[in-house]
């Protein structure tokens, strides 16, 4: 009687479920393809020179030492400035503002900043710092990275503080602790692992960030710890070297790419281990 | 912490009064501190807007609205129009969404319905890793590995296949360079895939099991349950996730800059080199000479910020509404 319909429905079912398996395969294949190419080309170029020698002119031997230093320095500055600001703002959203209109606005704007194009961040810092100072500098680079760090930390801090059971806050309040003490010694402490996760994710996010550094920190061929001068960074060097026609620059670009990816993946895995289980 | 320890030792009334006053003052200071950090987030946003508008003023005065619909981009004669960049931005992102939305939903269906329980977490994490890989890595991979492979194995085949089909021969025509609009769009689609599949999976999990069980009880197949029960229920979440991904795709810089070819013209063929707003800024900003050139690039940044703001804001409104619904249901 309805056998034909029955078979047709089963076939469609099989067909679409097969498609969704293929979709998952599609995603995994690209991941494998990208990581495979990266490790293959990156490991071939890996040597101790990378960490000891400066970025070379074309045709000469060299490493990425100045770029690594620049990346580490600017990321450290950005995290040092962005973490407390993000932590306080996130604390306001979760502990004080919660349902106020201001908190709603801040949340909205923060989520926009979280996904806003990073190149626009670069333009912003260029306008307010580079133009005012009259030259490119590591300060400007770090500032543009700070603008990227803040929204990440705000979002995770708020989420993690909201996971802290209200009973803890109430217990502390019942003991007579003022609210600031409750936040600092009860809720922050309870959410510590989650907040650290947010900072790690922020570091992972900025360590590969290129666009805003292009016209804030620019680049520098030499070993430089002067934050008031242009500074080299791994992503910018990768961009410059990969777009060039020189074979040995390409090799260094691959090595740099491997370093960045290894850093980012390690940070995301550690962050995932630390992250508390979500409630739902 | 010190305050609590203090509170434990207190016995006499005056001590307590002092502690309360001290605590109160400390409270106010701390509250103001967190409040100003929260306001700083608003200030950054306002600062971005203001600085872009001020920076773009010379170009706005010079070109007016014509800036948006003029294709010419000539630094030598200082005639600037953003149309080719805007076109490239929109086309690459929309093409990317055409691939990423169905595949992202497919991945979410796979992870919630088909995948063996033990593999769900590892496969989910692997897909999310795609979002963690920095865009410059996509760029260098796209330039050295993907574009040559695509050129040799896919592009020539497509050009040959559609060589005599009307319309399609224009869209998939022209010399197969490897780099171009289509390559950029494909790489973008891989990059935004995890955003769609993660949000979609999360909303799929908010569908009340009783709805699915009722449909299964009526004899529906898995696909029918997904298509007629789960997807309609999760619609606004899926659209929100897709908008979030679109916002990312529109603003993506490095991955696109490597493979798009940086050519300021609009060609019918999707294989032709083009440019996007972000790629133009990344390529030309440090080399731009003259205030009008710089200002034009900044105005493009302003246009990009405006477009992504609208897309991201609507994504948020949809996802927020969903969160509220999920909150009231549980």
CB of B72 less than 8 A from some CB of A:
no
| Confidence (pTM) | 0.91
Q: Which residue in the block uniquely carries the two structure tokens 């002092």?
A: B18
Report whether pLDDT(A157) > 80: yes
CA distance A160 to B183: 39
Q: Locate tokens 């019942």: which residue?
A: A174
- Write down the pLDDT at residue A280: 40
Q: What is the pLDDT of residues B39-85, one digit of tens each?
A: 999 999 999 999 999 999 999 999 999 999 988 898 888 889 999 99
Task: Check: CB of residue B130 under 8 Å from CB of residue A33.
Answer: no
Q: Vertex B94, ends B93 and B95: CA angle to 5°?
A: 90
At A58, is the pLDDT very low, low, confident or very high (cuts 50, 70, 90)?
confident
**Mean pLDDT on A128-146:** 94
Q: What is the pLDDT of residue A250?
A: 93
Distance CA A116, CA A152 (A): 12
pLDDT value at position B320?
84
Is B127's Cβ below 8 Å from some Cβ in A?
Answer: yes
Selected residue of B114, B129, B134 to mutate for chain A interface (largest A Cβ count, 10 A): B134
- In tens, the pLDDT along A32-42 reads 999 999 999 99
Please name the member of A96, A118, A242 whose beta carbon is closest to the beta carbon of B140: A242
C-alpha pair distances (Å), A233 with each of A72, A206, A214, A220, A251: 8, 11, 9, 8, 17
The mean pLDDT value for A210-216 works out to 92
- Substitution target in B15, B17, B132 with the highest count of A β-carbons within 10 Å is B132
Nearest to B137 among A33, A214, A260 (CB): A260
Give pLDDT, residue B165: 83
Distance separating alpha carbons of residues A143 and A228, to the nearest angstrom: 12
Using a pLDDT cut of 90, give the percent of chain B over it: 61
Closest approach of B108 to chain A, Cα-based (Å): 8
CB-CB under 8 Å, B305 with A116: yes
Percent of chain B at pLDDT above 70? Answer: 95
Tell me what pLDDT residue A20 has: 93
B239 contacts chain A (CB < 8 A): no
> Cβ contacts (< 8 Å) between A87 and chain B: which residues?
37
Give the position of tokens 């593999």: B119
B residues 189-208 near A, CB within 8 Å?
A: 190, 193-194, 197, 205-206
What average pLDDT score do residues B224-242 get?
91
> How far is the C-alpha of B166 from the C-alpha of B296, rounded, in Å?
38
- Residue-wise over B92-111: b if at least 16 C-beta within 10 A, else e? bbebbbebbbebbbbbbbbb
CB contact under 8 A, A23 and B107: yes
Closest residue of chain B to A131, computed from CA coordinates:
B55
Q: Is B1 a residue whose pLDDT tops 50?
A: no
Q: Would the pLDDT of A264 be above 90?
A: yes
For the stretch B70-83, pLDDT in tens is: 888 988 888 899 99
Between B160 and B109, the higher pLDDT residue: B109
**Which candidate in B34, B93, B243, B321 is best for mutational testing of the A interface (most A CBs within 10 A)?**
B34
Q: For residue B251, give the nearest of A10, A278, A115 by alpha carbon.
A: A115
Bridge partners of residue B79, in order along the sequence: B74
Q: What is the mean pLDDT of residues A121-141?
A: 93
**What was the pLDDT predicted at B13?**
66
Higher pLDDT, B245 or B20: B245
Question: Each residue of A63-117: pLDDT tens digit?
Answer: 899 999 999 999 999 999 999 999 999 999 999 988 899 999 999 999 999 999 9
Indicate the DSSP class of residue A227: T
Arithmetic mean of pLDDT, B257-272? 90
Mean pLDDT over residues B171-199, rounded? 91
**Please, are residues A79 and A143 in contact by the beta-carbon 8 Å criterion?**
no
In this predicted structure, which of A17-26, A154-163, B157-166 has the lowest mean pLDDT?
B157-166
A263 contacts: CB under 8 Å, gap ≥ 6: A204, A207
Taking residues B265-275, report their average pLDDT.
89
pLDDT at B327 > cutoff 70: no
Max CA separation in chain B (angstroms): 96
The number of beta carbons lying within 10 Å of the beta carbon of residue B52 is 23
**Out of A110-124, B25-39, B163-177, B191-205, which region has the weakest mean confidence (pLDDT)?**
B163-177
CA-nearest residue to A188 within chain B is B1
Q: What's the confidence (pLDDT) of residue B329?
A: 52
Q: How far is B174 from chain A (nearest CA, A)?
A: 24
Give the separation between CA B142 and CA A56, rounded to whole angstroms. Answer: 24
Q: What is the pLDDT of residue B326?
A: 67
State the angle between helix axes of A3-45 and B181-206 in degrees (0 to 180), rounded to the nearest 10. 120
Judge whether residue A223 has pLDDT over 50. yes
Q: Which residues of A touch B38 (CB under 8 A)?
A: 88-89, 92-93, 97, 102-103, 106
What distance in Å separates the CA atoms of residue B43 and residue B195, rounded to the nearest whole number?
28
Mapping DSSP onto H, E and C, the string for chain B reads: CHHHHHHHHCCCHHHHHHHHHHHHHHHHHHHHHHHHHHHHHHHHHHHHHHHHHHHHHHHHHHHCCHHHHCCCEECCCCEECCHHHHHHHHHHHHHHHHHHHHHHHHHHHHHHHHCCHHHHHHHHHHHHHHHHCCHHHHHHHHHHHHHHHHHHHHHHHHHHHCCCCCCHHHHCCCCCCCCCHHHHHHHHHHHHHHHHHHHHHHHHHHCCHHHHHHHHHCCCCHHHHHHHHHHHHHHHHHHHHHHHHHHHHHHCCHHHHHHCCCCCCCCCCCCCCCCCHHHHHHHHHHHCCCHHHHHHHHHHHHHHHHHHHHHHHHHHHHHHHHHHHHHHHC
ipTM higher than the 0.85 cut: yes
Q: Which pLDDT does position B310 carry in this prediction?
A: 95
Test A238 with B136 for CB contact under 8 angstroms: yes
pLDDT of residue B330: 44
Of A243, A216, A245, A224, the C-alpha closest to A65 is: A224
Q: How confident is the model at residue A279 (pLDDT cuts 50, 70, 90)?
A: very low
């Amino acid at each position: 009687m309805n056998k034909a319909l029955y078979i047709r429905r089963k076939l469609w079912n099989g067909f679409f479920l097969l498609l969704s398996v293929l979709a998952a395969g599609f995603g995994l294949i690209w991941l494998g393809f990208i990581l495979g190419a990266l490790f293959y080309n990156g490991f071939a170029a890996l040597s101790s020179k990378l960490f000891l020698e400066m970025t070379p002119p074309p045709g000469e031997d060299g490493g990425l030492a100045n770029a690594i230093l620049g990346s580490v320095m600017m990321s450290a500055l950005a995290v040092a400035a962005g973490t407390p600001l993000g932590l306080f703002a996130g604390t306001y959203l979760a502990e004080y503002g919660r349902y106020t209109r201001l908190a709603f606005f801040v949340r909205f704007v923060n989520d926009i900043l979280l996904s806003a194009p990073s190149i626009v961040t670069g333009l912003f810092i260029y306008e307010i710092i580079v133009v005012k100072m009259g030259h490119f500098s590591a300060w400007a680079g770090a500032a543009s990275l700070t603008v990227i760090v803040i929204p990440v930390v705000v979002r995770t801090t708020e989420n993690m503080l909201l996971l802290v059971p209200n009973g803890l806050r109430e217990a502390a309040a019942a003991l007579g602790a003022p609210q600031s003490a409750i936040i600092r010694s009860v809720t922050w402490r309870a959410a510590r692992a989650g907040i650290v996760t947010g900072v790690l994710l922020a570091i992972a996010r900025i360590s590969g960030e290129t666009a805003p550094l292009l016209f804030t920190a620019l680049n520098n061929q030499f070993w430089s710890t002067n934050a008031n001068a242009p500074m080299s960074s791994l992503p910018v060097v990768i961009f410059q070297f990969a777009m060039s026609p020189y074979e040995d620059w390409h090799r260094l670009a691959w090595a740099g790419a491997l370093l960045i990816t290894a850093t980012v993946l390690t940070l995301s895995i550690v962050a995932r281990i630390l992250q508390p289980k979500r409630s739902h | 912490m010190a305050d609590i320890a203090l509170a434990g030792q207190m016995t006499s009334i005056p001590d307590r009064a002092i502690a309360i006053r001290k605590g109160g003052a400390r409270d106010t200071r701390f509250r103001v501190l967190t409040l100003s950090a929260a306001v700083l987030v608003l200030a950054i946003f306002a600062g971005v807007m203001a600085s872009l508008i001020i920076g773009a003023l010379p170009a706005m005065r010079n070109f007016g609205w014509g800036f948006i619909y003029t294709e010419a981009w000539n630094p030598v004669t200082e005639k600037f129009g953003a149309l080719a960049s805007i076109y490239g931005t929109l086309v690459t992102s929309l093409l990317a969404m055409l691939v990423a939305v169905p595949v992202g939903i497919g991945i979410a269906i796979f992870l919630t319905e088909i995948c063996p329980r033990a593999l769900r977490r590892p496969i989910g994490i692997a897909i999310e890793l795609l979002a963690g890989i920095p865009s410059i890595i996509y760029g260098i991979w796209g330039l050295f590995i993907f574009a040559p492979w695509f050129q040799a194995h896919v592009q020539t085949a497509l050009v040959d296949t559609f060589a005599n089909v009307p319309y399609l021969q224009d869209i998939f025509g022209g010399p197969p360079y490897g780099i171009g609009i289509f390559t950029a769009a494909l790489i973008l689609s891989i990059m935004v895939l995890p955003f769609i599949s993660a949000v979609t999976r999360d909303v799929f999990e908010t569908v009340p099991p009783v709805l699915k069980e009722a449909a299964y009880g009526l004899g529906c197949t898995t696909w029918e349950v997904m298509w007629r029960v789960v997807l309609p229920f999760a619609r606004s979440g899926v659209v929100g996730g897709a908008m979030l991904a679109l916002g990312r795709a529109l603003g993506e810089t490095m991955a696109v800059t490597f493979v798009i070819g940086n050519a300021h013209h609009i060609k019918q063929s999707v294989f032709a080199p083009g440019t996007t707003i972000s790629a133009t800024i990344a390529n030309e900003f440090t080399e731009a000479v003259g205030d009008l050139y710089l200002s034009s690039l900044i105005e493009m940044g302003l246009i990009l910020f405006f477009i992504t703001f609208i897309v991201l804001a609507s994504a948020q409104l949809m996802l927020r509404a969903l969160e509220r619904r999920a909150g009231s249901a549980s």
